[in-house]
Amino acid sequence: MRPCSTVMHLLLRCMRRCCRHRHSRSRMARRLRQPVNYIRLIFKSLYFNSLTNSEVLLDCILEPVFWMVEVVTRWFGMVFVFLVVALTSSVVFIGYFCLLPLVLQTYSPGWMVWHICYGHWNLIMIVFHYYKATKTPPGYPPKTKNDVPFVSFCKKCVIPKPARSHHCGICKTCILKMDHHCPWLNNCVGHYNHRYFFSFCLCLTLGCMYCSISGHRLFIDAYNAIDQFRHLEAEKQGVPVTGIGLLIGIVPSEGIAGKVVQVSQPPYTYKDRMFHKSVMYMWVLTSTVAVTLGALTLWHAVLITCGETSIERHINNKEAKRLAKRGKVYRNPFSYGKLNNWKVFFGVEKRSHWLTRVLLPSGHSPYGDGLTWDIYPLKKDMMQV
């Protein structure tokens, strides 16, 4: 009986000690948990708030890349403008000195009038809108004390931002109704020059399409002529010739009576070669620009139809997704209806404006001051044109 009670006594003591030890450990953990949580909270508060999310974190990581792009764009601004002017001038030069004489010599009077009228109208529209887009300031919010209603605050300019305004890192200022910073203009596209930018893109696309379509036949002829010339050069250098189809006049061919017959052909002069190369250069350049700029112009046309800028498209998409999760539908407050958006954009107030303000160069001011905006329901039927 005695050994049994001793064992029981030992077991009880052991259990009591274990229990006491566990209690002290949990007390320790409880005491430690509070400062650990506090330190963790301080650490999190350094980089987290209710407005932070993965996009902000990604922006922070990519900040050096953005900085590089901004510096390069700012420094190379004039280089891009020079490129636009040089490339457009080269095509105009080819048009005047290579194609116009050909049009005057070979085309019927009707086609001649069409090419001269359309070509010059298109050229004037491109030059006018490019000049205006580069030289017109996009519009800036006032930097002094004012009563303009604002929606947010620019931390970089330290000024209140009116609706639709955004900060441009390249121009280092806030821009009214900012669309984007265009390196090809070396200027921001905003409230006061958005129309010039779009009209320039549209007219340049039309001009490139015009050159590409009307120069298509000439391009094929020029390509074939240069290809023939290459064969001739190769034949002169003693390269064996396998076919005679394209080499009329150079390769001797056996007559019926076994005599060698040679057909003469006018020589391929330096002037001919330059003409063909110019035509090929023009066609490749204008076709490429027509496709790429055409896609950009189409995208901007979609945005204008929706009454949005490039920046707003991004913001509105996010807002629409956020509201969709709550079962609500987002409505852009700056959209006045598809046709009205175009009328507001081009400043069309009566029917004749479609001709004088859209199809002809016009320097009229845009609708509104870019600081305050009418909201959709008020302006649904604003222009009965």
Question: Can you give the binding site for Zn ion, defined by CB under 5 A?
Answer: 154, 156-157, 167-168, 170-171, 174, 181, 188
Whole-angstrom distance, CA of residue 251 vs CA of residue 121: 48
Distances from the Cα of 251 to the Cα of 95, 226, 246, 285, angstroms: 36, 18, 9, 35
- 3-class SS at 270? helix
CB of 154 to Zn ion, least distance (A): 3
20 or 156: CB nearest Zn ion: 156
- Catalytic residue, candidates 168, 171, 174, 182: 182
Say whether 182 is catalytic: yes
Whole-angstrom distance, CA of residue 226 vs CA of residue 374: 60
182 or 204: CB nearest Zn ion: 182
Instruction: List, as one string, the DSSP characters of 298-366.
Output: HHHHHHHHHT--HHHHHHHHHHHHHHHHTT-----TT---HHHHHHHHHT--STTHIIIIIIS---PPP
CB of 188 to Zn ion, least distance (A): 3
140 or 275: CB nearest Zn ion: 140
Whole-angstrom distance, CA of residue 148 vs CA of residue 190: 18
Q: Quick one: angle between helices 194-214 and 109-135, nearest 10?
A: 150
CB of 80 to Zn ion, least distance (A): 13
77 or 307: CB nearest Zn ion: 77
* Catalytically active residues, by annotation: 182
